[in-house]
Amino acid sequence: MPLHKKNIVRLCCGFSLACLCQLVNALAPIPPNGITPTKRTIDYSWMSVSTWDKMHAEDTLVAQYDQVDLLFVGDSITAGWDQKIWEENFKPLNAANFGIGGDHTGNLLWRLQHGAVGNIQPKLIVLLIGVNNIGGLQETPEQAAAGVTRVVQQLQLAWPDSKILLNAVFPFDQAPSSENRSKVTKLNTIIARLGDNKTIFFKDYGPKLLQKDGDIAPEIMADFLHPTAKGYQIWAEAMMPDIKTLLH
CATH number at residue 89: 3.40.50.1110
104 noted as active-site residue: no
CA distances from 106 to 22, 52, 132, 228 (A): 26, 14, 10, 26
Query: Within this chain, do residues 9 and 63 fall inside the same structural domain, yes or no?
Result: no
Check: CB of residue 187 under 8 Å from CB of residue 131: no
Q: How many folded domains does the chain comprise?
A: 2
Predicted pLDDT at 248: 87
Q: CA-CA distance, 95 to 87, in Å (whole number)?
A: 9
**Which sign does the torsion angle of CA 234, 239, 241, 244 carry?**
negative
Query: Within this chain, do residues 177 and 242 fall inside the same structural domain, yes or no?
Result: yes
Dihedral angle at the C-alpha atoms of 28, 33, 38, 39, nearest 10 degrees?
90
CA distances from 89 to 82, 165, 203, 243 (A): 11, 16, 18, 10
Predicted pLDDT at 14: 52
Give the pLDDT of the chain (248 residues) as one tens digit per residue.
554 554 544 444 454 444 444 543 444 455 668 999 999 999 999 999 999 999 999 999 999 999 999 999 999 999 999 999 999 999 999 999 999 999 999 999 999 999 999 999 999 999 999 999 999 999 999 999 999 999 999 999 999 999 999 999 999 999 999 999 999 999 999 999 999 999 999 999 999 999 999 999 999 999 999 999 999 999 999 999 999 999 98
Give the neighbor-by-neighbor strand order of the sheet with 70-74: 95-99, 70-74, 124-128, 163-167, 200-203
Query: Within this chain, do residues 50 and 14 fall inside the same structural domain, yes or no?
Result: no
Query: Within this chain, do residues 10 and 40 fall inside the same structural domain, yes or no?
Result: no
Q: CA-CA distance, 232 to 238, in Å (whole number)?
A: 10
Query: Within this chain, do residues 102 and 9 fall inside the same structural domain, yes or no?
Result: no
Query: Within this chain, do residues 70 and 16 fall inside the same structural domain, yes or no?
Result: no
90 CB-side CA count, 13 A: 26
Query: Within this chain, do residues 105 and 193 fall inside the same structural domain, yes or no?
Result: yes
Query: Within this chain, do residues 53 and 121 fall inside the same structural domain, yes or no?
Result: yes
**Contacting residues for 42 by C-beta, under 8 A, at least 6 apart:** 49
130 CB-side CA count, 13 A: 31
Check: CB of residue 162 under 8 Å from CB of residue 155: yes
pTM: 0.88
β-partners of residue 211 are: none
From 76, 178, 215, 242, active-site residue = 76
4 noted as active-site residue: no
Give the range of the structural domain holding residue 198, as residue numbers without chain letter.
36-247
Check: CB of residue 235 under 8 Å from CB of residue 228: no
Query: Within this chain, do residues 24 and 44 fall inside the same structural domain, yes or no?
Result: no
β-partners of residue 227 are: 221
Residue 6 CB neighbour total at 10 angstroms: 10
Query: Within this chain, do residues 194 and 122 fall inside the same structural domain, yes or no?
Result: yes
**Contacting residues for 41 by C-beta, under 8 A, at least 6 apart:** 49
From 56, 75, 82, 226, active-site residue = 226
Query: Within this chain, do residues 59 and 176 fall inside the same structural domain, yes or no?
Result: yes
Predicted pLDDT at 4: 52
Helical residues (DSSP H) of 67-178, grouped into ranges? 76-79, 83-89, 105-113, 131-135, 141-158
Predicted pLDDT at 129: 98
Query: Within this chain, do residues 18 and 88 fall inside the same structural domain, yes or no?
Result: no
Check: CB of residue 95 under 8 Å from CB of residue 81: no
76 noted as active-site residue: yes
